[in-house]
Amino acid sequence: MSSLMRSMAINISEFYENLAHASVSSLTGIGMGDCEAQIIAAAEEYEESYVPYLEARKAAIHKHRVELAKQQLKVLDKQDAKRKAQQQKAPTVAENREDDAEEIDEDEAEDLAKFREMLQQHAHPERATADGVAEEDEPKRLRK
């Protein structure tokens, strides 16, 4: 803890040694010229040392953002190229749907006919005919 206190004391001491100051009397106004000179000197120091530092930081941040944007664009371009290549290789969804719909319609019609035939044969094996359609018999109650 003592080393931290010592370090802070040294920093504060250096800060106040380098701080520009001027003595001004509030009653008589003596020393206002010195105060104005110190303010002008501080403004010049700010313009000479701090503004270039800020501009360099701005430029570095802008450069970093531009590089990041370029990298992101490259990644997006690669992804776009992959998608386009995949789209060219694979048939379109509409083409697939049309082909599938035709196949399904034909297959469903055949399956439905086979299913009806099977139901007729299993439900009433004595009434099934060769074409799979049952012959209409008179109702059982009328046979008595």
Q: Which long-range contacts (CB under 8 A, 24 or more apart) does 40-48 make?
A: none
Q: What pLDDT digit, counting tens, does each position of 92-117 carry?
A: 655 666 666 666 677 777 888 888 88
Q: pLDDT exceeding 70 applies to what percent of the chain?
A: 75
- At 99 the three-state DSSP class reads helix
3-state secondary structure 23-79: CCCCCCCCCHHHHHHHHHHHHHHHHHHHHHHHHHHHHHHHHHHHHHHHHHHHHHHHH
* Structure-block tokens of residue 121: 């044969």
